[in-house]
Structure 1
């Protein structure tokens, strides 16, 4: 009886025991404070270097100039419009690429023959630099929506294809065998065994693909466009407006951060049975 009491007291004395929620809250607070301090230090150093005169603001601008540029573009309404255009194009490319990439990966997983036949071609196409083929895409499809979506598609499609195919190939053999012994059809194997087992791989690809859809759209907008965040960056650079370039980059970073948060929430809902693969 005495030893049980001692053991129980020892466990209760363990740091963080009995208050996991409080421990998580403290850790979140520490992370937020550390991030905030890091951002403040970087901005202060940036502003200090410019204010002292070590670097001409023409080259790196300054936090104050960038803030003024962001405010001017926001008040004028152009920044929100450009953000909306880029987000719309990126989401269209992401949805189309994800659906086709996941479907292709599952189909190749069901056909080892075609997987072997197409593997070198997939590797070759995926290794092709998209920046190099973006001008060709613009030449074929113009500077409208189609060119941006297709440029982003060439990035995201292969990410989802390869991740889905890898996840489908790594289904536990014991689970597969049990399902077959229980009389599962090919459709049951696909929907109830392969797809659920591949979901962590698919979501890892979706997290990466959502960011790369923005990257593909931005590349196309920088090369040839008259709207969007890529246009803001390219136009500002062409006019030697460094603050405008940083304003566009900051807006793009905020959009990517928002996308990551949304995907993290969706992943947490659908994959509550496993740890999140998404970084904060």
Structure 2
């Protein structure tokens, strides 16, 4: 079983690239040890610098593995969805559609929706990426992942989901899916990242959440009505892919236009500064 109660093949414990079994399995995860509060034991003073090195290595390994995957979209959803569920078929269709549109597909690499999206991408002949995470019991990568990277730290893994994706497609899921969805929305809302499309698939599942955001959060002033424009809700997987393609193209065009405008303004400012800074010498009398 995984830490969220999902039956998974194999057993053991992933600690970065290391697999531990039986008596070697620790009782806490790397994240738990990192985030544990200070105690009377001061060994953490000497251990935390080494944690920094491990964190650095995860970023270096992740950047190195993913730097050349090209255009990609991150797909999120439940690990508990069975292969015979309609949501799994939606995930397969999303993965296939993204590859046909020229994207690689990034998931958490596990079972359920993640496996479905990876399966669709792999069967369509595209690049299927899985970003795994250390769990108390080995969840393992689903068999449809072509490029797999395993992480100790959630925040390092989350960085990779955002850094190498041009959009998010979110299918029905639980707390982990909600976390990924709202973190993406927060990054866009606060302009910590350049805007990218966020698409929810499945109105039966997601409409209640959007209604609550509109009725409770907007009415209390917790978010603005424009914030909901960051989210697009669809039922058709082809429509989800089409929105990512179209909105992505619009955002790229706007970004390129902004870069051109900034460069033009900088060039104009430099020209004006140069003109003001020119000192004219005395004129030479004619015939001299």
TM-score, L = length of structure 2: 0.22
**Which has the larger share of helix?**
1
Comparing both chains, which one has the higher relative contact order based on Cα–Cα distances under 8 Å and sequence gaps of 6 or more?
A: 1
TM-score, L = length of structure 1: 0.22
